[in-house]
Structure 1
């Protein structure tokens, strides 16, 4: 039984899977002499027999082999052997004697290195670590090439570490690592060597960092390994990172990390974990500023590292842990800012994208709230500075969420608060029309309409056109997309009114019509639409259609109170004006009955109004223009009777004057003018017109009375027509008055004093001058030369002077045409004076001689007058060469023949002479 297993030994292995981390908790390792399948009996029975063999055998080798078999059965079958911990320790304590006995004989069928190893294990299990280490050191010293040396080195180092002998532990771990041990054992050794170095103090920390970093390199060689860490290695890695972080925290923090990592040719996969662990250390120590600095340092140094979002997130957590919400908010803002750009955002994984959306929403909300508070406080400029970034963030966020409708709506509100209408409108439009399933889409669409309405309202009329085009498009879009929303009809009515204000009647009419036929339109909206239609049609001259529209609006108008009454009055006035314009159109087209009918029916719509009064007035005018004089007179008289104090009534008299004049009633026309003149500051234009009408009517007495009154005011002509008119009045008076002399005198004097003349006025004045001259000549002739002659002669000379003056006036007025007559009459005056002087009475007191002498003296006195008469007649005679022969020259020749017969009493035949004209006109 014993020889077989010994001879069949094939290999030696050490079971480490169940070993403890220190010698104190290790199980002994058994040598496996044979690796055969278990016998075809129950494991429990086999174990019972080996235990009995161990208890009954006195051979050390047999006992050791029995224990090995028991361990093998337990390991391979997984069965418990029924031994308590105390019993198991007792077994191994008993086995130690067998181990020592074999070792003391120096003879062993197996390998002594294996025996030493098992003895060390047994000593360790039975609580004798010193003896265990001695056997392990003996194994290492005697058998350096044994495959059990790495395990022995590890156990020796473990014992040294447990005993605080850290340099010795480091030495044995280093020896193991330099040898050819198993990778898992070397991994443990490297890890423990790092701790051994760490325990030796800061002087050995440089070696410790290198060792621990090698541990990390082994477990985490690349980025994929970070996601495949075995559960059994988690604690080891965690402790490694923790101790490295502790050393960094005590030796420079981030600077220490930079120094350590600089030794690697490339950034290790685990570098982010190390930064993270250092930040955790600082946070646990309450050193929050330094914790943030570590996270920020990693972000700054490795901005493209995939873990940067985690570090940014951790900064937020640190500030929150520090109880500094403002700085945490700032960190969230930095996080949001770092991934605002689409490219950066797309590089985030789903978890961080969700976090960015959450942070961005909170960031935008906080700015929106601050902006709203400033706006409520009246600080619009400050509010705009907060609204703008909130709007941009909402808009960016809206493009990164599944249901963006509310965000687009918020973006629109914020842009509007920032005074940025263009992006606000785009945001409202997106929320209103491009987000399926958004339950508040209609309100967003309406917000776009309201913003555009407000914008148009704030612009000057000259700048509204383009803005109104945009508003119209928005209203069209709203009403087409949401036809059942009651706000649409109000917007349509508003747009119609605005297009009307800008003068685009066609567009205004289109929108007004849509309101009029819309089933949801309210009466007030239809009322506004009919107002637009009425104004458009009225502006276009379609007054009949306008009248119908005004009547529709009037039917829809409701309300009470002063304002409503004023509004109704305006409507009625517009209706009345549309009727008035129909009348004007009919009048222009020559349809007098229709025009008059329209004008007169205005009063049924708006009685007593200005437009109704104007209609009455224009009805009369229309009849006047159509020469329907009697109907016109009737309407004019009615108008004056109904509206005697209206300003238009002043013009009635003129129109009546015209109607009376044209209808053959000049006397009534004159009466109208005189009646009006009574109320005028300057009545004479009307009175003179009345005089002319009396003249036309043949009422000379009434005419002359007005002429006399006017001329009594001594009017002064301002220009030629005034002078000619006054002369005509004087001429008419002297032609019809019983005593015309004053008018002859006035006519002559006015013509002589005036710078303006006409052939007619000169002729009139010349005639009057001759009349006055003849009357003066008659008076001259009628004065006798009686005693006392001196006085009579003085009177005669004065009369002669008067006649000469009149003749001079006649000559000035008649010119060359009357000069012959004037010369003749002047000569005859002197001749008459000579005759009268010769025939004058001789004083009775004279004797005959004295009487004779007296007559000689008279002849001597008369002779010069006769000579003067001859000279004047001769002067007249001499005019023949200049003017030719006329009647008065002939009379002068006859007079000369009587006065100077020797020279002038001849038979003379006067012929006209014409110069010879040749065939060529020469």
Structure 2
């Protein structure tokens, strides 16, 4: 139940003793707890100065006077003065209630005696009033009423009439005559001279109307509203309610609540009020209605009453109490769901900072408590839904929990744990950006939070999962820079946290993966300089460092880092490093050493390079890179012109790895080394050995032939030429043709059966589309030699009988020789023409001569023999003419080509054939004839 502020429970203040010469009114009978207990007897006296003796002493004397006097007037006056002293002094003096009833019973005879005599020094209206009181105290209600009516009838202007009317209305009410009581109370309420009784009369007017039944309840409600308006006219009235008014006000609220409950509840209550005229006590009325329903066990009615006021006056400062009362009502009813809903409404209503500021301390605590309970409930609900696979329901519950935690966090002294729970709830709800905000606040903005480091770590992990795209959303995609910034913030605030080195190691790997070597090295160095870094973290940092150094060409530093990583990998501190991973580190280390060799070789530091290459095998024996390093060491020795060492390394490599792909090129390198070291025979031998294992051996063999030629090893060279030419190679271009002709020419010069190679040489030249000066020279000379050989054969054939047969042979030999000479001319041109012309002419001259000197058949007579001789001369003549013609042609070449030996020999023959023309001494000169005028 909502109660007015404590003023309703304040004690009634005692009235201070009145000063002398002031009038006062003594209330002889207090109102009882009920209407039936009221004592409507009042006396009015004039004030007189109080004697300078104690009130108890004065009362004792008046008490004795009442007992000892026989005069009615004296007794009545003593009785009045005793009542006055008791009321003025506030002391419990005079008569006890039992004595008072007995005394007033005794006083009745005095009152009647005075009335019978008709003589009384005081006012008769007062006497009638006192008699009515005396009758009431002695249980003579009818007589008391009769005296009151006499008072009203005889003395309508008496100041005692209002009280008389009040006592009559009270009597009617007590007798159940509610309509009569209503009229009596209304007369008092509307009368101008009844101000003293208006409040109580209005109160009783309402009760008299209420007692008449539901048909009069609207009148009763209006009256009770006026009662409350009179008792509680303004807000401050709630703070200063006198103790004597508490029950009246409380009963008024109670009866209004009862009437409303028996009608339409809150709606009826609202109909009795005026929205345009708010009253300071309205919330107490709704509260009483809610309490009434609660007492009846009508939970929903109680909630409706509370809710009705909230809606009726939403800005009233009591709304928080009504909202909280709804929570209490549902809680009393045991309806958990409704309790939770009511708490949620309260929390939501005062979620804003301005609204929260209006709450009292206790209400603020309630708000915090409800927020925490609601948050915890929805958090647990989300967890249960997640366990059952209800993803959507789980996310919704966690989001609600997070909202409650977030609203609560700024309103608690220690907000860290609340914010962390909010972050976790947002995380579970899939609201990752909001979760990140909460984790950060818990970590860095919540003073005194012992778990701040864990909250900060949660922010780091959330960002890391976002960078790795492990979160089921495309909306939260932080960059690596965001993760790095968060890690830096974590490291700065929680420098002693054991997780930092692992975080830095991870960041080093990540920055390395995206190619930012500077940042990767920065984080790796932080790990390596951290005192508490674990072996696993150091292992990662060394790998990052090694890879960066290696990528940047700092292979010496890379080797150092790889060595450190390898030491850790092969030690007993890392349990999760596999053999494959160790092998990978060794490969990287070998690569770093190998690259140092390459770099030294590129800079011309060959000895240093060879040293690095040879070290690779000690790092990773038998590995591919070690094999290549051995090969590169040999190559580097070649570059350094250390032929002997290079040959030794190459031969050793080939012996150790004969099937390796690099072994295929060793032969060429060995050939190069032998050549460079001026050992062509060794080079040729290497080539021939390689040729034996080659699918196309002749290229290698011909290179070997050239080297043998260079070394002067003619026999081996010629053997290779012969074998090669036996394969019938055909030239594809001029250079190839010249090469083949060179082989043939060399065989002509130094080989066996040179004439056969001359024939091959000449024929190849004649058949080829490509020629060179050398090949033409070689082939033309060869053709001349072959022609001379044929001419010798021609000469050796004698003409004998039968002539036709020998002549036929002779002519064929001539034709063969002549063709050789013509081939020589075709190939050699002007260079061999003189010799060719001479030799051809001599063939014809020899034939003519042989014809002339041939034997005559023995069976001819002289005449026939003479005729036969003449026929021979006729046959020989053309040949002689042909010879002269060719010699003459040769002679004529002097003018164009100049004189040579073969032309001279032609002149000798011409001189023999035509002595008169050619046999003379001539000196052949060569000059240039120029006219004097330069023409």
TM over 0.5: yes
Determine the structure 1 residue equivalent to 2:375. 364
Alignment correspondent of 1:683: 697
SS at match of 1:607: coil
**Residue of 164, 167, 177 corresponding to 1:152:** 164
Whether 1:584 and 2:595 are equivalent positions in the alignment is: no
- 2:512 aligned counterpart, secondary structure: helix
Q: CA deviation at 1:866?
A: 6.2
How far apart are residue 831 of structure 1 and its match?
Answer: 5.6
Equivalences for 1:16-55 in 2 at 5 Å?
18-20=30-32, 24-27=36-39, 29-39=41-51, 43-44=55-56, 46-55=58-67
Paired residue for 1:3? none
Quote how far apart the aligned CAs of 1:666 are: 1.6
Q: 1:822 to 1:359 in 2, by over 3 A?
A: farther
Alignment of 1:708 with 2:722, yes or no, is yes
Structure 2 residue 369 is matched with structure 1 residue 355: no
* 2: CA distance, partners of 1:394 / 1:22: 54
SS in 2 for 1:492: helix
Q: CA deviation at 1:497?
A: 3.1
Task: Determine the structure 2 residue equivalent to 1:631.
Answer: 645
> How far has the Cα of 1:737 moved from its partner?
0.7
Alpha-carbon contact 2:385-2:394 (below 8 Å) kept = yes
Worse-superposed segment, 733-742 or 420-429: 420-429
| 2:80 maps to 1:63 | no
SS at match of 1:13: strand
Instruction: Tell me, yes or no, if the aligned pair for 2:82 and 2:94 is still in contact at 8 Å.
Output: no
Distance 2:777 2:29 in 1: 161
1:344 aligns with 2:355: yes
Secondary structure in 2 matching 1:221:
coil
Say if 2:24 and 2:47, in contact at 8 Å, map to a contact too. no
Q: Is the 1:429–1:445 contact (alpha carbons within 8 Å) kept by the matching residues of 2?
A: yes
Q: For residues 3-51 of structure 1, what are the alpha-carbon distances to aligned partners after superposition, in whole Å with 9 as ceiling and x for unaligned?
A: xxxxx99856252882226563133534243423454556555445544
Superimposed CA distance per residue, residues 626-666 of structure 1 (whole angstroms, 9 cap, x where no aligned partner): 11222222333333444444443333333222222111222
Q: Quote the Cα distance in structure 2 between the aligned partners of 1:854 and 1:525.
A: 124
Query: How far 1:898 moved relative to its partner?
Result: 7.7
Q: Which moved more, 1:437-446 or 1:781-790?
A: 781-790
1:382 Cα deviation from its structure 2 partner: 5.2
Structure 2, unaligned runs of 5 or more = 1-19
1:100-119 map, 5 Å: 100-103=112-115, 106-119=118-131
Residues 122 and 132 in structure 1, CA contact (< 8 A), matched pair in contact too? yes
State which drifts further: 486-495 or 888-897: 888-897
Kept in 2: contact 1:212–1:244 (CA 8 A): yes
Selected match of 1:172 from 184, 191, 201: 184
Give, in whole Å, the separation in 1 of the partners of 2:392 and 2:808.
112
Shift of 1:406: 0.8
CA distance in 2: counterparts of 1:278 and 1:561, whole angstroms: 75
Aligned residue number for residue 435 of structure 1: 446
The 1:751–1:53 alpha-carbon spacing in structure 2 relative to 1, beyond 3 Å, is: same
Per the TM alignment, residue 550 of structure 1 is displaced from its structure 2 partner at its CA by 3.3
Paired residues of 1:12 and 1:31 also in contact (CA < 8 A): no
The residue number in structure 1 matching 2:343 is: 332
CA deviation string 1:434-470 (max 9, x = no partner): 333222222223333333444444499xx99984444
1:306 has 2:317 as partner? yes
Partner of 1:743: 757
1:383-394 aligned within 5 A: 383-394=394-405
Runs of at least 5 residues in structure 1 that lack an aligned partner in the other structure:
1-7
- Choose from 263, 269, 275 the match for 2:280: 269
- Report the equivalent of 2:256: 244
2:43 is paired with a residue of what secondary structure?
Answer: coil
Which of 445, 458, 476 in structure 1 is aligned with 2:456? Answer: 445
Of 588, 613, 618, which residue of structure 2 is paired with 1:574? 588
Identify the match of residue 541 of structure 1 among 537, 553, 570.
553
Higher mean displacement: 217-226 or 798-807: 798-807
Distance 2:70 2:27 in 1: 27
Distance 1:765 1:40, change over 3 A: same
Q: Deviation string for 1:468-505 (max 9, x for gaps)?
A: 44444444443443343322222233333333333333
Preserved contact between residue 28 and residue 118 of structure 1 (Cα < 8 Å): no
Post-superposition CA distance 1:385-428 (Å, at most 9, x none): 44334334323322221111111222232333344444434433
1:73 and 2:85 are equivalent in the alignment: yes
SS in 1 for 2:45: coil
1:62-110 CA-to-partner distances (Å, cap 9, x unmatched) read: 3322321232233334454575544432322333333344445554332
Q: Does 1:131 align with 2:157?
A: no
1:660, 1:668 within 8 Å by CA — same for their partners in 2?
A: yes
Q: What do the CA deviations read for 1:86-137 (whole angstroms, capped 9, x no partner)? A: 4432322333333344445554332333233333323332223333333334
Structure 1 residue 910, shift from structure 2 partner = 8.4
Contact 1:24/1:125 (8 A) holds in 2 = no
Q: What are the superposed Cα offsets for residues 240-275 of structure 1, whole Å, 9 maximum, x if unpaired?
A: 3333333334444444344333x4533222333333
Alignment of 1:451-850 (within 5 A): 451-458=462-469, 467-557=479-569, 558-559=571-572, 563-796=577-810, 798-799=812-813, 802-803=816-817, 806-807=820-821, 809-814=823-828, 829=843, 836=850, 840-850=854-864
1:168-207 Cα offsets, whole Å, 9 max, x none, are 2222222111123566632222222222222323332332
Structure with the bigger RCO (C-alpha within 8 Å, sep 6+) is 2
C-alpha separation between the residues in 2 aligned to 1:495 and 1:648?
41
- Would the alpha carbon gap of residues 177 and 861 (structure 1) be closer, same or farther in structure 2, given more than 3 Å must change? farther
Q: Distance in 1 between matches of 2:385 and 2:923?
A: 128
2-structure distance, mates of 1:745, 1:148 = 179
- Residue by residue, what CA displacement relative to the aligned partner does 1:268-299 show, whole Å, maximum 9, x if unpaired? 22333333334444444555445444444444
Instruction: Kindly indicate whether the alpha-carbon contact (under 8 Å) linking 1:22 and 1:155 is maintained by their aligned counterparts in 2.
Output: no
Distance 2:893 2:389 in 1: 109
Q: Distance in 2 between matches of 1:434 and 1:916?
A: 121
- What is the CA–CA distance in structure 2 between the aligned matches of 1:464 and 1:243, rounded to whole Å? 63
Deviations 1:494-522 (A, max 9, x none): 33333333333333333333333333233
Kindly provide the CA deviation profile for residues 836-870 of structure 1, in whole angstroms up to 9, marking residues without a partner as x: 55555554444455555555555665666667667
User: Does the 8 Å CA contact 1:336/1:356 hold for their aligned counterparts?
Assistant: yes
> Separation in 2 of the partners of 1:726 and 1:857?
51
Distance 2:61 2:848 in 1: 214
Q: Structure 2: how far apart are the matches of 1:45 and 1:917?
A: 196
Contact 1:24 1:124 in 2 (8 A): no
Cα gap change, 1:767 to 1:373, in 2 (>3 Å):
farther
Distance 1:526 1:191 in 2: 91
